[in-house]
């Protein structure tokens, strides 16, 4: 439980979808485990949530038509469901990224601005 010592980076509601889309867009099709590993690498500590928490996000994205899952073999010849980003997903990623940047910029500005 060493991770509890470090400040936890809570994944904001809604940003998980963006992160997953981004990961799929840059890395190509991934299975849930692969995505979880990737998240841990990025955040530099084990996922603050359990790996099982990816599943609601995955099914949400799939129902929106932004990603698509298909069963394939892993390199070690195990079966796994690989998710790939769709065209609609790419468009959504672009839009969501833009939105996120604007929001982040705004928050940043609010936090750094010194009121006079």
Partner 1 sequence: MLTMRRWFAKLANWFWPARAERDLAREIDAHVGLLEEEYRRRGLSGEEARFAAKRAFGGVEQAKERQREERSLMWLDEIRRDLRYALRSLRRTPGFTIVAVLTLALGIGASTIIFSFADASLLNPLPFPHGDRLVSVNEVVPLVSNQPIRLTAPDLIDYEQQARAFAALGGWTARAFELSGGHESEHVQAARFTANMFEVLQVRPARGRVFTAHEDQTGARVCVISNGLWQRWFGADPSALGRTIDLDRVPYTVIGIMPRGFEYPLPGPSDAQHSDIWVPMSFTATERQARLDNWDYNGVARMKPDVTVAQASADVNAIARHIVSDLLPPRAAGHITFSALVQPLAEQVSGPVRPLVLLLLGAVGCLLLIACVNVTNLLLARGATRERDFAVRVALGAGRGRLVRQLLFESLLLAVVSAVAGGLLAWWSIGAVSALMPARFALLGRARFDWAVLVFVAGLAVVTAVAVGTAPGWAATSRLRVEAIKDRGASAGSVPHRRLRSLLVVAEVGLSLVLLVGAGLLTRSFNDLLETSPGFEPEGAVAASVRLPEEAYPDAVRERTFYRRLHDRLHALSHTEFVGVGSALPLSGRRTERDFTADDYTPPPMAKLSIVGMTTVSGEYLQAIGAMLVRGRYFTPQDGEGSAPVAIVTQGVAHQFWPGESPIGKRVKWGPRDSPLPWMTVVGEVNDLKQDALDAPAAPQVFVPADQLAATMSPEYQAVYIPAALRAMFIAVRGRGNTSALATGLRAGVQQIDPQLALTDLRPLSEVVASSAAPNRFNMLLMGVFSIVALLLAAIGVYGVIAYSVAQRTQEIGIRMALGADAGAVARMVLSGGIRLAAMGIGVGVIGAALLAPLIRSLLFGVRPLDVPTFAAAVAVLLAIAAVASYVPARRAARVDPQTALRSE
Binding residues (CB under 8 A) for partner 1: these are 31-33, 46, 49-53, 55-60, 63-65, 74, 76, 78-81
CA 20 to the chain's CA centroid: 3
- Structure-block tokens of residue 30: 């991934």
Write down the least CB distance from residue 108 to partner 1, Å. Answer: 26
Give the whole-angstrom CA distance, residue 38 versus residue 34: 6
Q: Which is nearer to partner 1, 26 or 50 (CB)?
A: 50
Give the whole-angstrom CA distance, residue 32 versus residue 71: 12
Q: Which is nearer to partner 1, 25 or 80 (CB)?
A: 80
Q: Which is nearer to partner 1, 41 or 108 (CB)?
A: 41
């Amino acid at each position: 439980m060493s991770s509890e010592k470090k400040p936890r980076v809570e994944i904001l509601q809604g940003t998980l979808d963006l992160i997953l889309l981004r990961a799929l867009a840059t890395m190509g099709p991934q299975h849930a485990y692969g995505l979880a590993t990737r998240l841990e690498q990025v955040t530099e500590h084990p996922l603050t949530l359990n790996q099982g928490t990816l599943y609601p996000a995955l099914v949400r994205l799939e129902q929106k038509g932004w990603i698509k899952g298909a069963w394939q073999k892993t390199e070690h010849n195990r079966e796994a469901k690989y998710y790939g980003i769709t065209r609609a997903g790419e468009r959504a990623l672009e839009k969501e990224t833009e939105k996120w940047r604007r929001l982040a910029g705004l928050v940043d500005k609010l936090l750094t601005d010194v009121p006079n």
